Amino acid sequence: MRPNGVPPDTRWNTLQMRAAIVLTIVLLPLGLLAVLQTQRAVEGAQKVYRADIVARTSRAVWPEHEAIYHAFGLAQGLAATVGEIDMSRAQCVELMESVVARGTGVGFAAYLDREARSRCNSLDQEIDFSANRDSQRLYAEPRSDISFTPSTEAGSAAAIVFNQPVYDRAGAFDGFVSLSFSALPLVELRERDDLPDTTRILIFNNKGEILTSDIAPDELPALLPADIELMDIVREREFVFHGASQNGEMRDFVLVPIVPRRAYALGSWERDLPFSYASPVSWSMMLFPVIMWLVTLVVVLLTLRHMVIRPIKTLRMRFRNFADGRSLLRGNSLKSASSELREIGGAFESLAEKVVRDEALLEDRIHERELLLREVHHRVKNNLQLMSSIINMQIRQADEPKAEEALQRVRGRLASLAKFHKDLYQTSSLAKLRVDDLLRDLVEQTYAMGAEPGKHIELRFDLDPVELSPDQASPLAMLATEAVTNALKYLSADPGRPRYVKMTLRAEPGDAPDGEPLIRLEIENSMASDAPVDGAGLGIRLIAAFASQLEAGTQHEHKAHCYLLTVVFRRKPFGTTETLSAALRHP
């Protein structure tokens, strides 16, 4: 159970939760800054790593880079010589043979004319390359080219072929100069001293054809990236990317241009990215601010619980016990609390003792006042009964019917007042009174005193349980007495219809700001169709006077076979001061 006024769910409104939220807000910028610094450090380390593998790959293929550049330069020089100088076939063959004999790694040198036939080559043979697909492609779009061939038409082993277009003095295309280099010596030139054993490098051209590789062809899936063609990764600058190889191993790939738009080196490195987001070191660095936040949060919350919340719960228990049963718990439960909380506990104990003393004194005074009020109501009831007895004696001695009738009505009013005061001093509370029971008794009492002998009258009741303060119960009782007296006086019925008096009491929802209901009282009596209606008698004026005390609206209706009186008023809130004063105003 929670005290009144406390929301049923206060988990998000506790001191611990508020402290946690404040700490989180305070530490969040520091945590974000630490995470940002860690992220920058990780990114910096990764940039250094990428630059390192690019540099080491470039350094490893530098001899091949120089050899390929030298081969392109040699091919360009030969193409310019052949195009600019008119040479005989013998001179051209001698030139090609000298290039091979120079020991620069060239295994075959040749000049191909416009029909892709070579009569000038280092073998001094006539060779027709017109049926070669590579030759057809080159002649369709003459440009510098580098390609790989497992075996040349000259019968050499696997080689790298450099082709350079030849232009005559007029600038017209005049064939190609073709140089063939053995692939193996180029691979052997690589500097692997600075490379891990798991690193592999290959050279490929812009068409994606592999020129050289340091592993066997059946091992290439461990080197080549999966789901991507070599020609699709060609870039103008160094490029590093991460992905799976064709055998499913995650590796880092490094692209190094050797001859832009012509030849490229691809290094395949075993993934060893420092401080990657998946590495334990990076996770520990990222989680460090979170761990510090959690540790700080736990320390602060435990401190709050021990030094603040626990003493406050003790104080709350004391407050609640005092509020529920005025029990004042004492002890040393606040001994370990701070001095401020101990001062609050001491102040509460002093206040509670004073409240208990004052309430005891007030209860004694209220009890005395209630005894006096009950005695007053009892004496008033006795006096009214005495007056009713005296009037009853005068009724028996009255000679005129009108005088007897007037005395009977006075006796009825006195009996109603006596009944009201009797119920008031017999009720358990002087603050409110069950008016439905009171009205039923008054109707039956009035009927017993005012009904004509020998004429049966049916009493009907439809009463909701309604409680009113004495301020409203008294005028309502008098109003009901006058209304029932009038009903009995003028009651009649057509032949064959019942003679009856019906009382209805309802408590209906009202629209008042205090939420108090509307009280509706209806008194209905049977009436003959031709019976006269007297609306100016003393009873009607008394009913109007009592209704004005209730601030009620009244309505008189003469319907078919009945007469109906309706009274509607708003119930006033119950209050001790108002009730006591109301009781004192009714002697």
Work out the average pLDDT over 281-301.
Answer: 77
Please, which residues have CB within 8 angstroms of residue 503's CB and are 6 or more apart in sequence? 439, 440, 443, 460, 461, 462, 463, 480, 484, 521, 522, 523, 524
Query: 275 pLDDT band (50/70/90 cuts)?
Result: low
Q: Is the pLDDT of residue 374 over 80?
A: no
Identify whether the C-beta of residue 479 lies closer than 8 Å to the C-beta of residue 567: yes
Tokens representing 75 are 């091919």
Report the alpha-carbon distance of residue 24 to residue 18 in Å, rounded.
Answer: 10
**263-270/433-434 β-pairing:** unpaired
The SS3 call for residue 529 is: coil
Higher pLDDT, 238 or 504: 504
Give residue limits of the domains in the chain. Answer: 49-270, 362-584
Q: What is the pLDDT of residues 63-97, one digit of tens each?
A: 777 778 888 888 888 888 888 888 888 889 888 88
pLDDT of residue 226: 86
Identify whether the C-beta of residue 440 lies closer than 8 Å to the C-beta of residue 463: yes
Q: Is the pLDDT of residue 215 over 90?
A: no
Angle between helices 339-397 and 310-325 (to 10 degrees): 10
Query: 584 pLDDT band (50/70/90 cuts)?
Result: very low
Strongest mean pLDDT among 22-36, 247-261, 298-312, 428-442: 247-261
- Which secondary-structure segment (H or E) carries 568? strand 562-570
Please, which residues have CB within 8 angstroms of residue 292's CB and are 6 or more apart in sequence? 27, 31
Which amino acid, 409?
A: R
Q: Is the pLDDT of residue 581 over 50?
A: no
Locate the DSSP E strands across 395-454. 433-434
At residue 563's C-alpha, the angle toward residues 560 and 568, to 5°, is 125
Angle between helices 401-426 and 339-397 (to 10 degrees): 160
User: How would you write 13-40 as a 3-class SS string?
Assistant: HCHHHHHHHHHHHHHHHHHHHHHHHHHH
Q: Which of 81-90, 108-117, 426-435 has the lowest mean pLDDT?
A: 426-435
Identify whether the C-beta of residue 275 lies closer than 8 Å to the C-beta of residue 46: yes
Tokens representing 454 are 């020998």
Q: What is the pLDDT of residues 435-488, one digit of tens each?
A: 888 888 888 888 877 666 667 888 999 999 998 888 888 888 889 888 888 888
Query: What CATH number does the domain located at 49-270 have?
Result: 3.30.450.20
Q: How far is the CA of 152 from the CAs of 178, 364, 376, in angstroms?
A: 11, 127, 138
At residue 383's C-alpha, the angle toward residues 381 and 384, to 5°, is 65
Q: Is the pLDDT of residue 536 over 80?
A: no
- Helix, strand, coil percentages in the chain from 3-state DSSP, rounded to 5: 50, 20, 30
pTM for the model stands at 0.45
Q: What is the pLDDT of residues 345-365, one digit of tens each?
A: 778 778 888 888 888 888 888
**Other Cβ atoms within 10 Å of 20 Cβ, number:** 17
What is the DSSP annotation of 72-135?
Answer: HHHHHHHHHHHHHS---HHHHHHHHHHHHHTTSSEEEEEEE-TTSEESEETT---EE-TT-HHH
What is the 8-class DSSP label of residue 571?
Answer: P
User: How would you write 242-275 as a 3-class SS string?
Assistant: EEEECCCCEEEEEEEEEECCCEEEEEEEECCCCC
State the CATH architecture for 362-584: 2-Layer Sandwich (3.30)
